[in-house]
């Protein structure tokens, strides 16, 4: 169950930077997107807290930030026209390998 909570925390972690990006693009909806960011970051922290009750803090933190980073980069590529060059994808895959490796050795 702790691993599921950690994955949920990682998904909510993506909401913070995405909300801030949306604020920079659509200032008319400032309060909504800031609210999205704050809510998402709060939920992310709460689920991380729950997951760390059973998962070592170092492992949980790296996986949490890794899921957030990978998710943010992928959403940036898909929706915000961020670069998807081979080197970005290569280094993104290294983060994913690290996440899977930490799960396997836990």
Question: pTM to 2 decimals?
Answer: 0.90
Residues counted in the chain: 106
Averaged over 45-72, what is the pLDDT?
96
d(CA 86, CA 93): 10
Of 70, 71, 69, 52, which is closest to residue 60 (Cα–Cα)? Answer: 52
Of 92, 86, 4, which is closest to residue 51 (Cα–Cα)? Answer: 4
- Residues 12-26 have pLDDT tens digits of 999 999 999 999 999
- Mean pLDDT in the chain? 96
Averaged over 62-87, what is the pLDDT?
96
pLDDT at residue 106 tops 90:
no
pLDDT at residue 55 tops 90:
yes
């Amino acid at each position: 169950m702790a691993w599921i909570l950690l994955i949920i925390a990682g998904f909510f972690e993506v909401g913070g930077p995405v909300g801030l990006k949306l604020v920079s693009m659509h200032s008319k909806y400032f309060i909504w997107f800031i609210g999205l960011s704050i809510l998402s970051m709060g939920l992310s922290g709460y689920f991380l807290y729950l997951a760390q009750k059973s998962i070592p803090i170092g492992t949980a933190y790296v996986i949490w930030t890794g899921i957030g980073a990978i998710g943010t980069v992928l959403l940036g590529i898909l929706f915000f026209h961020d670069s998807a060059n081979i080197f970005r994808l290569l280094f993104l895959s290294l983060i994913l390998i690290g996440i899977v490796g930490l799960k396997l050795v836990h």
